[in-house]
Amino acid sequence: MARYKITVQYDGSGFRGWQLQKNQRTIQGELEQAVNKINKNKKSRIHGAGRTDTGVHATGQVAHFDLNIDMKSENIKDALNGNLPRDIKVMELSKTNENFHARFSAIKRYYQYRVRNDGFILDRNFTWHIDSLDLKMLNKSAKIFLGENDFTSFSKSNEEIEHRRCIVYESIWKEEDQVLNYYIVANRFLHHMVRYLVGTMVEIARSRYDFDFFKNLIKSPKENVNVVK
């Protein structure tokens, strides 16, 4: 039995997120179907580095699976892509050691959120189209949660996790080609965490949400507060 590491790219528009769900189209489900086909219908579980939400895309999601098959890595990659739908593609595949785990071996995770306000519509499936925003205010908000903080106020409750503290290494907005890109790097992301943070920062930049209240929710986290979702 060999362990394989894959890097996957996908358009999340037509999926109910990463995690396997009954009677729902998911990234994990499509990948497992493809692996099982080349494994003569023997089931192999796909483990991802993280769980993306409904409609979220990936340029480099890492995952792993175990497979007992006499095929070269390049041929396994080609076989998987031949059995995957057009909105998912395995970009890289390689053998790895049995101690590697896509989720627990990951040190940092990278997230980009795109906001556009120039009327261009062809990227509407992966860009939020809104009116003009104050970039300085966006970055003033983004700096608040650098370092280690409790993101209880900006995530969905989940009984499966012990705590909701995350270490944020980078948090910055940059204007690039008429698009405001938000970049955040952290040791992990919680359910809906980035979506809630971005939505709230945008409303602050629109002068529709109080900055000091936002800052206090980071320093003194609370459940079920009125954040932008």
- Active centre residues (catalytic): 53
Dist. CA 45–CA 226, nearest whole Å: 38
- The identity of residue 162, as a single letter, is E
Task: Calculate the alpha carbon distances from 162 to 158, 167, 217 in Å.
Answer: 9, 15, 20
Dist. CA 139–CA 115, nearest whole Å: 14
Task: Calculate the alpha carbon distances from 23 to 18, 26, 41, 42 in Å.
Answer: 14, 9, 19, 20
Q: Which helix (H) or strand (E) holds 66?
A: strand 58-67
Dist. CA 51–CA 28, nearest whole Å: 9
Task: State whether residue 135 is helix, strand or coil.
Answer: helix
Please count the CA atoms within 13 angstroms of the CA of 29 that sit on its side-chain side.
13
Start-to-end C-alpha separation, the chain: 44
